[in-house]
Structures are given as structure tokens and as C-alpha cells.
Amino acid sequence: MIQPDEIEPVGLDAAEARRADDVLARAVRGLRERAGFAFAQIWLAGLGDRCDACPLRDACPDRTLCLHRAAIDAGDANAAPLAERAPLGRGSLGQVATRGTALCGRVADDPVDRACFGAEPFLALQPLVFRGESMGVLGVGAKESIGADAHARLASFAAHLAIAIAHARTADERVRQQRQLTRERDLLREDLEHALGHGPLVAEGAAGRKLREQIELCAPIDACVLILGEAGTGKRRVAHAVHAASGRADAPLVPVECGTVTPERFAERAALAEHGTLLLRDVEALPRFAQRAALRAEARIVATTRSHLRAVVAAGRFDAALYHHLSVFPIEVAPLRERREDIAPLARHFLRCAARHCGRPEPHLSTDDLRALEARAWPGNVRELAETLERAVRASSGARLALDAAEAIGSPRARGVETEAQLRQRERDNLLSALAAAGGRVYGARGAAALLGVRPTTLASRLRALGIDRARLAAQKRSDGQ
């Protein structure tokens, strides 16, 4: 039985909710459970987003806008109306939404009404209007006639419900914007940390000058860039340089770790980069779902790879259309062994950065030190040079640079040139050793990042890229201890 006196308390309860979804849920639940209606529904105006699959598409005169069923409570009966979208201007529901006038009485023999409301014989529809604009429709159904008193109370309920929905939507938008700002802040902080740690692009030799020319040529062109090079050559720094010299420099550069990205994470990052640059790191590892999404991204895409992408495409693991999309402007970053004239300026630059990062005076880089650095093969490229100098700074006391103490891989001349697979395996083994020495910790003064002389965020990124799961390692260690 309908309880008109319970309609107003339901409205007060719904108005106390902070989120729009909660306002809607409390309203329909209260109208059915407390006010005694057989069902309650709230329809809100929105874009036509399901036209191809909508059962009412033939009745829809305008497929750009329609009514979306935003909330429903029907109890055990009438639990699954056929339609979740309804056309504007058609059926009782669509007419109430467009005309802004209420309706109360028997359900008309109309296909739109049957699809939206089911078999209940009596129906009351109230427009939801806020500041003169129609937001949607409140609909309730009953097995008995809905009297004038209940209908009048529903009109007041609908007026207050529209205000509550509008205020809750505003609050939801503030929360969304705050989360967006937080994500952008984190990205900018990551960019700032990278910029402070690596500074300007250091490339003074012939290979470096060619690299700078390529960056200057492609940066102003709003096209995709594919940066190729071995691990540690500075591909990410090149990507930052391309972004900084582009017309999108005021918007964020948003990195994506392709080997570990999820659908939700990719969608979030692509949205953040809409007016900026989307950096796809190790793009050869990009999952299929993200490959398709990348082709539709609004952002400028800069991708990095250590692989021969053409071979990955031929093997069927990478979308050919995306490969051609990314290859508009390829930039190849030479390994450090092919740009030895850059070792000295890079060493001086990284020495200054390491001293500043460690809070120590800058040690002296002697001629012998430079000769020793230039004699090495640097299989880890620029990254290995930076980490070697940071370890040397940490091991130094006074003005003398303890370069000998920082050597972690021995003489590269004795080793010869290593393959990419050998280099990755050695990097993986080294990280596992550091984690074991630090008891599984990454952060802190005694964490693995401090032992390796790198930032914790950098180490966490490498662990993910190499597929090292710290939680699994810890569980295995506990199991072995038992």
C-alpha cells in the first residue's frame, strides 16, 4: 500500500548523501521500501551511447541524446526492464522529459512504456528540473491507483531531488578534479625528479649533435616519435627533450610502463596526456588491448624500444598499424661506446648531480679518472655511467673520487661485449642481490635503492620491467625459512 507520508522523509534521507550515485540509490530504495511503490526509477538525460544495441533505437528520433536509466529499485518483481535507454519525446517517459509536465494514471499501451516500466498498471512520472533545465524523470509504479495526495508529494519530492542530484554531481566533479590534480601532481613530481636527476641532455660529439638536430626537427611537429636504442642509452631523456621543445610542453608528459600496464591504468594515463605527450616505455611489451587503444589516443605519442619492432610485428606480437603510426619519426640513440667523446662531459655532469643528490662536496675528477672511464665499454651505457659515479661519490671521503671502490662490473675489456639478454640477466641478478642484502626493502637508508645508489622510484620501475615480484620473493623466503 502506498504511504504518502513517507515520501518526504525519503527525500530528506536522499539529500543527506554526498555522492550522486548514493542520492539516486537512496531515493529509489526509499520510495519502494518506505513509501510502498512497486518500483521506482530515475532517468537522467545523457548522450546516445548505445544506439547500435538499444532495443528502442527505431523509436528514437535523435540518436545524439536520450534518457539513461540511472537508478532502479523494483524488488523481486519487475527487476529487469528491457531498456536502459529511452528516446526523448517518445512514450510517456520521453514526453515528460521534453515537456517538463508530470503524468499520473494508467500505463499507456505504448512500446516505449512497456520496455521501460514493465507490467505495473499505474504510473506516476515527475520531471526533474534544476534552474529551469530538465535533468530527467522520476518514475514510480504501483498496483493501485496513485492518489492526488501522493502525486502532489511526489512533485515536491522531485523538485528537491533535482537539487540534491545537481549538488551531488557538483561535489563528484570536485572530487574528480581533485583526483586529476593529484595524479597530475604526481606525474609532474616524477618529471621534476627525473629532470633534477638527469638535467639537460648532454650530447656534444658528432652522434650527440645529430641527436640534437633530430630532436629539434621532430619536436615542433605534432607527430609520433619512436626512440630506439639499447638499455640505458638515455631514451627517456630524449623523450623529455622532445616534449619540452614541443607545442605541448605546458601539458604533462605521462609515462606508461608498457610491460605492466592494466586496461584501467592505460585509460587513466591516456586521459591525463590528452593535451600533452604519452610516453610508451618499452613499447614492444605493450599488451594487445593497449595497442588498439593507442591508435585512438588524442595525445601525442612518443615511444621507446630496445627491440627491432619490425621483427616483433612479423612475429605477430605487435600491431602493424600501430608500428607504422609510431614510426613517423624514428630517432636512434647511439650506445655510449659509439660516442666516447661524450663520456667526459657526461661524467662531469653526473658527478655534480650525484654530489648534490648525496649532499656532499663535489669530488675532483682527475685526468686519470677520465681516462679510466673512457677506456670502459659501458654495456649499461649512460645509466651505468651515472650509477657508477653516484656510487663513487658515496664511497668518497674528501676531495678524492673513490672511483675504484665504485666499480661493480670489473674491466669491460676483459669481459668483451655482452648481448642484450646477458646484460638484462646480469642486471636482474644484481637487483636480486641488492634486495637480498636489504632484506627485501627498497626504501630507507638500508634499502636496496640506497645500496645501488639509485632512487627508490627508479628501482621500483626496474623491478617491474624485469618481472621481479617482491611480494613473491618475500613469501618464498619465509617458506624456505620454515
Looking at the structure, tell me whether residues 8 and 134 fall in a common domain: yes
Count: domains in the chain = 3
- Scanning 16-147, the segments in alpha helix (DSSP H) are 20-33, 91-99, 111-117
Contacts with 385 (C-beta within 8 Å, 6 or more apart), sequence order: 336, 343, 346, 347, 350, 373, 378
Q: Is residue 238 part of a domain?
A: yes
pLDDT by 10s per residue, the chain, length 482 = 888 899 999 999 999 998 999 999 999 999 999 998 989 999 999 888 878 778 887 888 777 888 999 999 887 654 555 688 888 888 888 899 999 999 888 766 788 888 888 777 788 999 999 998 899 999 998 888 899 999 999 999 999 999 999 999 999 988 888 877 777 666 665 555 554 444 567 777 788 889 999 999 999 988 999 999 998 898 988 998 999 899 998 888 888 989 888 888 899 889 888 899 999 999 999 999 999 999 999 899 999 998 888 888 998 999 999 999 999 999 999 999 988 899 999 999 888 888 887 777 888 888 888 888 888 888 888 888 988 888 888 877 767 787 775 554 344 443 455 566 667 777 787 888 888 888 888 887 778 888 887 777 778 777 877 778 776 666 555 555 43
Closest CA to 270 of 292, 250, 244: 292
What does the alpha-carbon distance between residue 332 and residue 346 come to, in Å, rounded to a whole number? 19
Looking at the structure, tell me whether residues 227 and 342 fall in a common domain: no
Residue 97's domain spans which residues? 4-172
Looking at the structure, tell me whether residues 308 and 412 fall in a common domain: no
State how far Cα 154 lies from the chain centre.
42
Looking at the structure, tell me whether residues 32 and 153 fall in a common domain: yes
Q: Are 45 and 62 in contact (CB under 8 A)?
A: no
Looking at the structure, tell me whether residues 41 and 14 fall in a common domain: yes
Is 121 strand, coil or helix?
Answer: coil
Closest CA to 362 of 371, 352, 372: 352
Looking at the structure, tell me whether residues 106 and 144 fall in a common domain: yes
What does the alpha-carbon distance between residue 11 and residue 218 come to, in Å, rounded to a whole number? 59
Rg of the chain over all Cα atoms, to the nearest angstrom: 31
Closest CA to 169 of 195, 196, 136, 192: 136
Domain containing residue 129: CATH number: 3.30.450.40
Is 62 strand, coil or helix?
Answer: coil
Q: Is residue 192 part of a domain?
A: no
Final residue before a domain boundary, out of 270, 300, 334: 334
Q: Are 402 and 395 in contact (CB under 8 A)?
A: yes
Q: Is residue 183 part of a domain?
A: no
Is 70 strand, coil or helix?
Answer: strand
Domain containing residue 419: CATH number: 1.10.8.60
What does the alpha-carbon distance between residue 403 and residue 131 come to, in Å, rounded to a whole number? 72
Domain containing residue 259: CATH number: 3.40.50.300
Looking at the structure, tell me whether residues 147 and 88 fall in a common domain: yes
Q: Is residue 350 part of a domain?
A: yes
Final residue before a domain boundary, out of 334, 365, 397: 334
Q: What is the pTM of this model?
A: 0.52
Final residue before a domain boundary, out of 270, 305, 334: 334
Q: Are 238 and 214 in contact (CB under 8 A)?
A: no
